[in-house]
Amino acid sequence: MSFNLASYIDHTILKQTTTVAEVDKVCVEASMAGFVSVCIPPRYVAGAKKLLDGSKVKVATVIGFPLGYNATEVKVREIEEAIHMGADELDMVIDLCALKSGDWKHLTHELEACMAPVYQAGRILKVIVESGMLTDSELIACCQLYGKYEIDFMKTSTGFSGTGATIHAVRMMREFLPARIGIKASGGIRDYEFARQLIDAGANRLGCSSSMQLMKEFKVATGA
């Protein structure tokens, strides 16, 4: 196998009942395994940043999560607060109500407003489109809109809707997004075989809560 699975993984815990002890455990696991980042609730960013000090693991958090229909001003404030606490990467849910209503002007304004503090601070922005709730034409339209901007990643899913990452969605995103924009597949990635298929389809990052199990399977499959 020509790649290290750990270098794709955002080790994730975002359930509503997440405790500080669980976040600490995720941080230790990510540091030991060499994952790219931990993706955690905003309230835990400062503590995770301190715990991971000296490691290469980034701290990611979520914005407008998980439904996406927060006012743009609220999302901007969430971003500013997360950056202040030390977040390296921001995973932002788009306003799906606007998308389903055909209000692309609002989505454009939302993105431009949210991009400003992220890039002023030199951070990473991932735009979550909840691909499992979109038609193919809507997903293509998202690729066309967000592909015009200097976002870092488009992310398939929150993991809180009925459908998470799919091979089909990742392939479509890779086809219709510029090569400079990464793809994060997230939601329902519970075994190494599916993770490998998503990477083969074009995913550059994987959001996983079953990361340690995936690494065990990866090592068995590849002899790593």
Distance CA 33, CA 38 (A): 11
Active site residue 216: no
175 CA to centre of own chain: 19
Catalytic-role residue among 58, 75, 126, 155: 155
Let me know: does 126 contact 149? Beta carbons within 8 Å: no
Catalytic-role residue among 58, 75, 126, 184: 184
Active site residue 184: yes
Q: Which residue has the tokens 């849910």?
A: 93
Quick one: CA dihedral 58, 59, 65, 68, positive or negative?
Answer: negative
The letter for the amino acid at 103 is D
Active site residue 191: no
Quick one: CA dihedral 198, 200, 205, 208, positive or negative?
Answer: positive
Let me know: does 125 contact 154? Beta carbons within 8 Å: no
Tokens of 20: 């500080």
Let me know: does 142 contact 155? Beta carbons within 8 Å: no
Catalytic-role residue among 10, 88, 91, 95: 91
Let me know: does 104 contact 145? Beta carbons within 8 Å: yes
Known catalytic residues? 91, 155, 184
